[in-house]
Amino acid sequence: MGFEHELASVLGIKRSILVNSGSSANLVAVSALTSHKLGDRAILPGDEVITCAAGFPTTVAPIIQNGAVPVFLDNNPVTLNANLDRLEEAYVPGKTKAVMMAHTLGNPFDLERIVTFCRQHDLWLIEDNCDSLGSTYTFPAGHEEALRFRKPLAENGEAVAYPTGTFGDLSTQSFYPPHHLTLGEGGAVNVVRDMRLKVLVESFRDWGRDCWCASGKDNTCGKRFGWQLGELPEGYDHKYIYSHLGYNLKPLDIQAAIGREQLKKLERFSAARRANWETLRRGLGHLEEYFEFHLPTHATGGRRRAGSLGK
């Protein structure tokens, strides 16, 4: 079992697809949702994507690179995530196609609200999980129907905790050295549940090709020379048909090999980050009258709801 399968297993999602960086992962994720193969749900030039006003630039750049329009929600200065007070105002029927936001520095955005909003309006959701591998979000008991595609990771009688990066249609990871795992460099696009998106993600990663055969494999579809697509002659070799304007954003095998070893240490790395956060927060507690400290999502009175943080 390779790194892609192991990462998907850890997250409990359908598939993880490696790319050469987290920024490339964001580009591929947005690009995949522009595919003509998605019909009316495809993100077209001029369509709108709701996102956060301040964050890392490559959360927003792919929206613009694909000709869509980012619609910004201001940040909450305490959580550093989007302030959702004007979320409904940001939605325009017929124009809004997706929401793309990052879980800032390991602190999940309000997934309960965003997931409900996206389901209500039939929008794509891309979670930029590059800062947050190992974080979980505590979903209130009784709301599992909104996440009907998943089983609970853990239960405490009142709430259910799920890993971030498993709520949207797609999510992304970065394996740049300061993040939770490092492959030297690298990233991944996670396909949460709809395997139609796997083929599109791989197409945009791999030059835009229409064929979905793995490297070194041929004729997976069983009709390599039996297709008739577009204006190409019937029988044209499917392995050399390109249906998207794609990229070459593949990683190296050695990166995946490093990732397999790193993944074994994820739980320990995450525990160390949480411990560091707690140590710093306690150590700086006497300065509360001078600073407004950042708080985790849904924190109340300086305390956080269990399981909501994984810096």
**Span 121-168, pLDDT tens digits:** 999 999 999 999 999 998 766 655 555 445 544 455 556 788 999 999
- Distance, CA of 45 to CA of 227 (rounded, Å): 29
- Distance, CA of 234 to CA of 107 (rounded, Å): 52
Position 301 scores a pLDDT of 54
> Average pLDDT of 19-28?
97
pLDDT of 311 over the 50 cut: no
Q: Is 179 a catalytic residue?
A: yes
**Span 43-97, pLDDT tens digits:** 999 999 999 999 999 999 999 999 999 999 999 988 999 999 999 999 999 999 9
**Span 228-276, pLDDT tens digits:** 888 889 999 998 999 999 999 999 999 999 999 999 999 999 999 989 9
pLDDT of 304 over the 50 cut: no
Active-site pick, 5, 36, 121, 179: 179
**Span 199-237, pLDDT tens digits:** 999 999 999 999 888 877 888 888 899 888 888 899 999
